[in-house]
Amino acid sequence: MTPGARRVLAAASRLFYERGIHAVGVDLIASEAGVTKKTLYDRFGSKDQIVVEYLAARDERWRAFVAERLARVEPGSADRVLAVFDASRDWMAESSPKGCSMVKAHAEISDASHPAYEIIIGQKQWMLTLFTDLVREYAAPRADELARTLMILHEGALVAHGLGIFPDPAGHARDRAAELLAASC
Amino acid sequence: MTPGARRVLAAASRLFYERGIHAVGVDLIASEAGVTKKTLYDRFGSKDQIVVEYLAARDERWRAFVAERLARVEPGSADRVLAVFDASRDWMAESSPKGCSMVKAHAEISDASHPAYEIIIGQKQWMLTLFTDLVREYAAPRADELARTLMILHEGALVAHGLGIFPDPAGHARDRAAELLAASC
DNA sequence: GTTCCACTATACCGATCTGTATAGTGGAAC
DNA sequence: GTTCCACTATACAGATCGGTATAGTGGAAC
């Protein structure tokens, strides 16, 4: 990726997350990136493509972030699940004050044929599979059911964080997950 | 409200929810309502005002829906909390296949000074207060903590429903809420 | 020293955006 | 029978939308 393209993607990512995808135009993105529209279209071809690369990059960074946190914890321990919740809390504190970018994008992209759709759904399916794998690893009974509960707790914490109704929902969800895991050993 | 205004609000509500607020223009709303733009602006004054009335009406309907369900259950019972989860499941099945309209609107409205903002936050605060009142009524220990857990479970179920990753997340959340209430008696 | 190539600068396209202006119609109220 | 009023019809304003066209610049590669 060229320096100009990197600046375009960085500016678009910030603007899409802060103001919404439909609310941000390509002229603004180019201007904020310090680039002409010609460069923007030479590199990405369309606004939709910038949206796709914004979500794909964020998805990739999140998965790497989680993988790095999981690598610190011994497999087979219930702490592995808690490490995911801890990762979410840190991730939100540092780069997601307004909630999950995938959920926000899902609210704006109605058409399931949009190329960004599969990225959004793909990340959520990956999270459910991850929870399922982690509780199976931990040898919990009724693993699928437990994984779905963890998924609901996790998504709920993300949304509650974005709404700002009460402080530290991710920490709260983590503590509830810990109790669940302790009870189902 | 005049017949024309009612049709405008009905069309706008459907379109805003299905396609997103920024993605829907006033020309489309007027056309779908079978009304001229003149009528639309005579009745509402601005698109923002239509957005506000869309969310306010939906909020009002939701609160009335919950109140009606709660009225069926004897106060002081843990079943009152479960009635809220049941209400959500039915509400989503009949009119919210894509998730909570407030969460969707929150994803598109970045500015906290937007007149719709307080409606969105207001509904979520009302839900947290409702859960708190219901568990206090039930005489549960650590009521505030329990209410926040229920809030997270509830928001998580709404989002999971919209994403469609697994079936009946509201029913799943309801069952987990029932276990929590049984354990904290 | 010519060929790439990432880039700037600027002007433009047709479409759509929110919002307004002017003129007129049909029916109920009083 | 005139006064309201909710409404239609149409045209337009100024801005912004996503996207394209033409022309040119500066530096590294070979």
Map out the domains of chain B as residue ranges. Answer: 1-45, 47-183
The whole-number Å distance from B27's CA to D12's C1' is 15
CB-strand contact B3/D, under 7 Å: yes
pLDDT at A21: 98
CATH 3.30.70.20 fits A1-45, yes or no: no
Residue B185 predicted with pLDDT over 80: no
Mutate to test the interface with A, among B103, B152, B158, B176 (most CBs of A within 10 A): B152
Nucleotide closest to A37 measured between CA and C1': D19
CATH, domain B47-183, list 1.20.1250.20, 1.20.1280.290, 1.10.357.10, 1.10.150.20: 1.10.357.10
Is residue A5 a contact partner of residue A22, using CB atoms and an 8 Å limit?
Answer: no
Per-residue pLDDT of B75-133, as tens digits, reads: 989 999 999 999 999 999 999 999 999 999 999 998 899 999 999 999 999 999 999 99
User: Architecture of domain A46-183 in CATH?
Assistant: Orthogonal Bundle (1.10)
* Local mean pLDDT, 10-residue blocks, chain A (185 residues): 96 98 98 97 98 98 98 94 98 96 96 95 98 90 96 98 98 97 85
pLDDT at A12: 98
Subset of residues 33-52 in chain B with CB less than 7 angstroms from any atom in strand D: 34-39, 42-43
Using the Cβ of B55 and the Cβ atoms of chain A, whether some distance falls under 8 Å is answered with: no
| Alpha helices, H only, chain B | 3-19, 26-33, 37-44, 47-71, 79-95, 101-108, 117-137, 143-163, 169-183
